[in-house]
Amino acid sequence: MSQNITKHIKDMVAEARGQINEVEPNEAISLIDDQGTVIVDIRDVRERQREGFIEGAIHVPRGMLEFWIDPDSPYHKPVFTEDKHFIFHCASGWRSALATKTASDMGLKPVSHIKGGFSEWIKAGGPVSKEVG
């Protein structure tokens, strides 16, 4: 029952957005070939298959993010120890705002997210690739 909820998701997203760096889709588009930038797609694999993805972005399932970032985790991915700017995105920017806040809280820096997510990336004319197979 919602009366037991003291903080709603919209509040959590708004709070996160007030504490993280957001990049406009056009800025993110200009960084896709930048060797110092890693775009991180936290969407579900089915979203990537259905809507496409940003070529070169790494796919990190949202449920594994903290485990992949933490170097002490058995699931750690070395990309997160590189001296890069990590730009997260999801479909509309809600999950990526929370993910960016979490990554920042863990000490990963610099981190940002694409304002408006993948849908705004598409509206801004960002290139989209499709899953093969």
Q: Which two tokens stand for residue 123?
A: 């509206």
- Comparing 1-5, 14-18, 66-70, the range with the smallest average pLDDT is 1-5
> What is the tens place of the pLDDT at every residue in 8-17?
999 999 999 9
The yes-or-no verdict on residue 7 having pLDDT over 60 is yes
Residues 6+ away with beta carbon under 8 Å from 86: 37, 38, 40, 80, 103, 108, 110, 111, 112
- With cut-offs at 50, 70 and 90, classify the pLDDT of residue 132: low
Are 39 and 48 within 8 A, CB to CB? Answer: no
> What is the tens place of the pLDDT at every residue in 80-130?
999 999 999 999 999 999 999 999 999 999 999 999 999 999 999 999 999
CB atoms within 10 A of CB 83: 7
Which listed CATH number (3.40.47.10, 3.40.250.10, 3.30.9.10, 3.90.1150.10) goes with 24-123? Answer: 3.40.250.10
Burial class (CB in 10 A: 0-12, 13-18, 19+), 49: middle
Residue ranges of domains in the chain: 24-123
Are 87 and 113 within 8 A, CB to CB? Answer: yes
> What is the tens place of the pLDDT at every residue in 27-64?
999 999 999 999 999 999 999 999 999 999 999 999 99
The yes-or-no verdict on residue 1 having pLDDT over 80 is no
